[in-house]
Amino acid sequence: MRKGQNPAKFVKEVAKPERITVALLNYIPFLSGFYAETLDVLKVSLESMRKDAGLPFDLMVFDNGSCEEVREFLVNEKEEGRIQYLILSEKNVGKGGAWNVIFGGAPGEIISFTDADVLFYPNWLKKSVELLETFPNVGMVTARPFRTPENFLQKSITWAKENAKLKQGDILPYEWFYEFSTTLGFSDDELKKIYSETTDYYVTYKNISAYLGASHWQFTTYKSVIQKFLPFDMDKPMGQVRQLDERMDAAGYLRLMPAERYAQNMSNTLPTGFRPDSISSIKDLSSKGFWELPFIKKPLLALYNAIFRVYYK
């Protein structure tokens, strides 16, 4: 039997969400090996995101089954008011599973998705939304220019040729290309080869310029657009996310990047200038050469990979 009236009945209004929801996906299963610095990377990403986005936003974090230390950090961030929506998944449901929850439940009219290893520069969100709202039929905007596979740009190229001013060639400075692509694990020789064999598409529309291209690691989109692609059916935690790029292009949506850099991939290590003294001080640089020897490094990495598969497959 009910006793009294629910106090919530007397509340006259509720808080309204911001127009933009920034959604961060995180996965840190342990804090050693490959993941040794990733909690610090996450902290730097969050700090840079909030510092000067250029537009107000609510922050949603989906944690994909991280270790206890990481979950405790995120819960504290939520309790301190720095995260508005926190989802803690018991298991790693993969990027596709996380996207289904994020894009299905984020309250904002605009959703800006990011992996947890992105370093943001001032006005990153403002410039992304500017492209989203200026160009017609935009599917996704990634906050820095880089070389995007041309096979994911066919509809964008066709539109630009017919409706805007389009340039093609080596427009993206090699330094910018190298700065981003070197974090993906390519050697210098491989990067030079990729740069020589690919091209940029640079479009100007209503006096605003952008590169054609975007990617799944960070992008801003309308919720009404991204929800058209739900659900994402991926049976692996990684490696299948390019289906979003393919499906966006096939549906005829533009994929854009600003003319300037407003974000950078950190991968699993902190960039120069952000490394805490406590981390740099424990690096034994004199012994690094030994561990890099091929006959030492190769079997140890193989063992590490085998252990990871046993516990986290």
Which whole-number Å values give the CA distances from 167 to 139, 161, 195, 208, in the listed order?
21, 9, 17, 14
**What domains, with CATH codes, occur in the chain?**
20-265 (3.90.550.10)
Which whole-number Å values give the CA distances from 29 to 17, 32, 90, 312, in the listed order?
31, 9, 11, 8
Measured CA to CA, the distance from residue 104 to residue 96 in angstroms comes to: 12
CA-wise closest residue to 216 among 121, 142, 111: 142
Q: What is the pLDDT along the chain (313 residues), one digit of tens a residue?
A: 767 666 665 566 677 899 999 999 999 999 999 999 999 999 999 999 999 999 999 999 999 999 999 999 999 999 999 999 999 999 999 999 999 999 999 999 999 999 999 999 999 999 999 999 999 999 999 999 999 889 999 999 999 999 999 999 999 999 999 999 988 888 899 999 999 999 999 999 999 999 999 999 999 999 999 999 998 886 655 556 778 888 999 999 999 999 999 999 999 998 776 654 333 333 333 344 555 555 665 666 667 666 666 665 5
Measured CA to CA, the distance from residue 250 to residue 244 in angstroms comes to: 10
pLDDT for the residue numbered 282: 32
**What's the predicted TM-score (pTM) here?**
0.84
pLDDT for the residue numbered 295: 60
Measured CA to CA, the distance from residue 118 to residue 104 in angstroms comes to: 23
